[in-house]
Amino acid sequence: MTTFADVLARRIGDDPGRPLVTFYDLTSGERVELSVTTYANWVAKAASLLADEHELERGQRIRLDLPTHWLGPVFLGAAWTLGMSIALDDDPGQGPDAVVTGPAGLERWAPYADRMPVLACALLPLGVRFADPLPAGVHDVGVEVWSQPDAFAPWDPPTGVDVATDGLSQDELWSRAAVGPSLSDGGRLLAVANPASPSGLASFVEPFARNGSVVLVSAPDGPLDVHRLEELASAERCTHRFLGLDD
């Protein structure tokens, strides 16, 4: 049986300083790179935020209503560290136990803040706070996450049979990712896809499971600038491409 924690521990043991998630925002020009160690630290902070500050736990469901962004893989890892499952549906009435959203989702999710944790990410460089006050009851990740520790151990660790996402256990998710078609072992994947969406989940889990790395690109609305993407792929020494559209 394999869990997210098992895969992360292997990646840390293999090469902790290697880039794991590189993020480009082609609109703002922002570039963020997380090594395996830095990613693990962010996952620990986010998991502690979910568990210790908001009392979320193994077996509950979380909705990640985020665009293509480096915080998507961070909160995926945090949820799986706790043994939570990722709710991939869009219907608030389907009953997630918590939501992590960006600025675009505030109006949609703020009305639910009185019945479940609603955490909002400003999606600004360095993961900083919102400039303006948030709706009542909504928590600013950019305020709360920085005080969390760089290491975290769940009191009730998940096993491989815990649900990772709709229809897949953690063991099934990582077993499939380890043989996924998006790249070869050790490859570097350029992805224009949202890792927190059903169609884009493979853009993170396959590089993570196969000792590779991912370059996530947030592109402006409209036709993809394939020439610009190829420039990035060359500069980042990408070996594979995944140009699926976000959900």
For 120, the token pair is: 């909002």
Q: Domains (ranges, CATH) in the chain?
A: 4-242 (3.40.50.12780)
How many Cβ atoms sit within 10 Å of the Cβ of residue 166? 12
pLDDT value for 227: 92
Q: Which of 57-61, 74-78, 86-90, 231-235 has the lowest mean pLDDT?
A: 86-90
217 contacts 24 by C-beta, under 8 angstroms: yes
What mean pLDDT comes out for the span 204-217? 97
Q: The whole model's pTM is what?
A: 0.95
For 195, the token pair is: 């890792």
CA 243 – CA 43 distance, rounded (Å): 26
Q: What is the DSSP string of the chain?
A: ---HHHHHHHHHHH-TTSEEEEEEETTT--EEEEEHHHHHHHHHHHHHIIIIIT---TT-EEEEE--SSTHHHHHHHHHHHHT-EE-----GGG--SEEEE-GGGHHHHGGGTTTS-EEE----GGGPPPSSPPPTT-EEHHHHGGGS-S----SS---TTSEEETTEEHHHHHHHHTT-SS--TT-EEEE-S-TTSTTTTHHHHHHHHTT-EEEEEEPPSSS--HHHHHHHHHHTT-SEEE-PPP-
Phi then psi for 72, rounded to 5 degrees? Answer: -60, -55
pLDDT value for 93: 57
Amino acid residing at 233: A
What mean pLDDT comes out for the span 91-119? 90
- State the pLDDT confidence band at 92, using cuts at 50, 70 and 90: low
Would the CA dihedral through 34, 20, 243, 226 be positive or negative? positive
DSSP β-ladder status, 19-25 and 31-35: antiparallel
- In 3D, which of 33, 50, 47, 117 has the Cα closest to residue 78? 47
pLDDT value for 90: 62
Q: What is the pLDDT of residues 184-196, one digit of tens each?
A: 999 999 999 999 9
pLDDT at 109 over 50: yes
What mean pLDDT comes out for the span 223-245? 89
Average pLDDT score over the chain? 94
